[in-house]
Structure 1
């Protein structure tokens, strides 16, 4: 497909991104073929309207697509249509939005969708691998953004745990999931900068230490494209890490150690968040709620 070749050659997207975006384009053209009862070519793609896209997303939602995934699908097909009809006005359609309100942890699907979106639109494949690794450290290991970007080459090779230096120079041992290890390893293989034991592991585009501001900006742009709320920040991934562990029965004291909280009272806030989440589930599911 020429669209996939364009993404790989001209946009320098990762293999993962090319595969995902190609699949989205193929799903759209297959849907339009059945929807209109005709062969779909570039001329046909120029006729796509917002109503057509709404019908397409409705079909995708029937397969269980959530808000964040639907927003990513819409972003992908918009890019495909813009490429197929360069210079033509694109159908305007607001993406799915996540209900705003009191602070809530984002779901695992939303967390991964956010990290994927940030990585997919990175200027270089190695930067995408870097951002993916950093965000997985926040969601998969509960690190603060400052802790993640402060890691040095000393953590390599990454084993089942890493030593993290948190607030007030307090160190703690944090377990590392295989997916997080794989993300860090992939970044190390792709980075154009030398990995030095005492130097920052994650580098900026020009080789200097990676600034947390760059990750925050990327997340801010990605959440807008996905229709996620303003409270979806890098810190929200750590927040979700804690809440999801607590919801699966983690001990408060153990969670305190994992998060690097100086006092248990800082960790206890997650019991309130988890209770609020359970009430949401109850209201949405119970017939008499």
Structure 2
């Protein structure tokens, strides 16, 4: 098994990943893996969650190889990796009911590590490039109806709950922000008080997205009014450098709280299980596209690196057109 060393204080001071300790591989592999993650963080600006997933995938692969070969993994041995070794690992992961999307991410992480070793002159791991990525089915996001999305951002819908009114106001403001500006939940909860203009004082947010990439997104005045209403009722201090949205005890608000709120509300409103906080972001993009929004502009608003990621929403629009045709055409 592999583990990360417990050096959180060093990591917090330097901002670099802590040195990695592996009991399935030699120290040379551990050193290169630590350097690789530092490179991805500093140069590629990958998100912490992506770095964590990549590190986990490589550790699992090295653990598998140590068992598969019956010996600790070293750099010279790793450089002689064969395609059959990689296929055996993928088959083992498949047997653990790992989905195609997770396997694709694992292979991407392994290839990134292999390319890093090549650039550092530590060997040519060509076997990783010889493996074809697993095919995954493309599932279309399921947006909400406009009326349903608006009701989720209405604090009055929760008036019967035994919670403080300021919490209703907070959750309504977060929901309105997800739908009104198409933010990821991590982006909305990552906003600081100083990032949000007062009603009438501005209409733009500077959002820190994936990979620490910032972008400008418009924000509606009625959304800013909901946020201001929450801030006025909040019993905890909201300093300019602190989080805009706080939990019941005044600390940063957890995404899980918003997810649980959505679960309760979709039961009360009769919404399907697909009604999640992220579905509000999908709804934002789909409703813009339905009303004639430009695909390239929607890409910028969502913070997608590639237009192909945004193009999935054209499929949703087409589906709805066919639904309308089937239900409304006299000969359908």
Alignment match of 2:197 (pick from 154, 157, 160): 157
| Structure 1 alignment gaps of length 5 or more | 1-100
1:157 is paired with a residue whose SS is coil
Residues 119, 129 of structure 1: 8 Å contact kept: no
Cα displacement string for residues 177-200 of structure 1 (whole angstroms, at most 9, x for unaligned residues) = 111111111111111111111111
2:311 is paired with a residue whose SS is helix
Whether 2:152 is the aligned partner of 1:114: answer yes
Distance in 2, matches of 1:108 and 1:253, equals 22
Q: CA 1:161–1:119 in 2, change beyond 3 Å: closer, same or farther?
A: farther
What do the CA deviations read for 1:92-131 (whole angstroms, capped 9, x no partner)? Answer: xxxxxxxxx9753111111122333764336111111100
Q: Which runs of 4+ in 1 moved over 6 A?
A: none
1:24-67 per-position Cα deviation (integer Å, ceiling 9, x unaligned):
xxxxxxxxxxxxxxxxxxxxxxxxxxxxxxxxxxxxxxxxxxxx
CA distance in 2, matches of 1:155, 1:281: 41
Q: In structure 2, do the counterparts of structure 1 residues 175 and 262 end up closer, same or farther at CA, with 3 Å as the change threshold? A: same
Q: Deviations over 1:197-219 (max 9, x none)?
A: 11111000011100000000010
Stretches of structure 2 lacking an aligned partner (at least 5 in a row): 1-138
Structure 2: how far apart are the matches of 1:115 and 1:169?
28
* SS of residue matched to 2:321: helix
1:123 partnered with 2:166: no
- Relative to structure 1, is the Cα distance of residues 213 and 163 closer, same or farther in structure 2, using a 3 angstrom cutoff? same
- Are 1:272 and 2:307 counterparts? no
Q: In terms of mean alpha carbon deviation, does 232-241 or 102-111 score higher?
A: 102-111
Report what 2:227 is aligned to.
184
Counting only pairs closer than 5 Å after superposition, residues 57-206 of structure 1 correspond to structure 2 as 103-116=141-154, 119-120=158-159, 121=161, 123-158=163-198, 159-206=202-249
The aligned runs of 1:248-267 (5 Å cut-off) are 248-267=291-310
What do you get for the CA RMSD once the two structures are aligned? 1.7
| 2:310 partner SS | helix
CA distance in 2, matches of 1:220, 1:169: 29
Query: Distance in 2 between the 1:122 and 1:143 partners?
Result: 28
**TM-score, L = length of structure 1:** 0.63
Q: Which protein, 1 or 2, shows the higher relative CO under an 8 Å CA cutoff with sep ≥ 6? A: 1
2:284 & 2:275 partners in 1: Cα distance? 13
Matches of 1:102 and 1:167, distance apart in 2: 21
Find the aligned partners of 2:320 and 2:197 in 1 and give their Cα distance: 38
**Matched length:** 189
Cα deviation, residue 144, structure 1: 0.6
Note the alpha carbon deviations across 1:195-249, whole angstroms, 9 max, x for none. Answer: 1111111000011100000000010111112221110000001100000000111
